[in-house]
Homo-oligomer: A and B are copies of this chain.
Amino acid sequence: MSGKRSLIRSGTTVDQMVRAIGDRIVTGYLRPGEKLDETSLAARFDVSRTPVREALGQLSAMGLVERRPNRGAIVAVVTQEHLASMFESMAELEAICARFSAERMTSSERRGLEIEHQGSARMVQLGAEEDYEYFNTEFHSRLYRGAHNTHIHDLTVMTRSRLAPFRRAQFMLPGRLAKSWQEHDLIVTAILRGDGAAAGKAARDHVSIVSEASAVFAVGDQPKAASTTPVTAD
């Protein structure tokens, strides 16, 4: 452990801890059920236990960690049932965003969406999963913003974060990339012609398919203990 905390960005120490720990959960570096020891985390990030505690509290409020009184915190473990409910919610939230986007996006937003979407076609041809993932994220973010409703935006982003650990490997399924793009295309087309209902349906279907694709991995992922280090240590 190095002495400085320059690894993490700006803000108060608590915010840094929230981001640091939250990121590790969202990226799957910390696995569901894994114990989050205050002392170890404090030592790991070279801060005292206080900001770590506060961070765990906030992450708990966000649903990313689970806190048992006097018994420590663990990375939130989601049951199959709860996972399904989150995916279903995600589908509905995306449907709302797509519907609103179809009705409300400015013409420059529409243009941006289409350009980026067309740009991502290239990644599909090249089979560049990593790059496509970037476009994919951006695509969905555009939908959330395009809804012009900050609260829906927040709810959606939040839900998406919590699902992130389970969506990780979806694009590794053969042919998933191209299918994803086609699904996006349906959404874009509907939005561009202002058809809210169709956009909503297309978005809902899209997420539902992702859900099924991810569930495969989620099941196999769940009971597995932490083995090798997926992401390199910092």
Contact = CB atoms under 8 A, between A and B. Distances in A.
A42 B155 CA distance: 31
Interface residues of A, number: 29
Q: How many copies does the complex hold?
A: 2
Contact of A54 (B54, B149, B159): B54
A88 interface: yes
A85 interface: yes
Which interface residue of A57, A81, A159 has the most chain B CB atoms within 10 A? A57
Given A61-B58, A62-B61, A88 B152 contact: yes
Interface string A51-66: 0011001111111000
A151 B89 contact: yes
Interface string A73-92: 00000000110011011001
Given A54-B53, A82-B151, A152-B88, A69 B12 contact: yes
A148 B85 CA distance: 8
Given A11-B69, A69-B12, A155 B61 contact: no
A50 interface: yes
A152 B12 contact: no
Given A11-B69, A57-B54, A69-B12, A159 B155 contact: yes
A151 B63 CA distance: 10
Given A54-B54, A81-B150, 7 more contacts: A11-B69, A14-B57, A53-B54, A59-B61, A85-B150, A88-B152, A89-B155
List 4 tightest A-B contacts by C-beta distance, closest first.
A61-B61, A58-B61, A89-B151, A85-B151
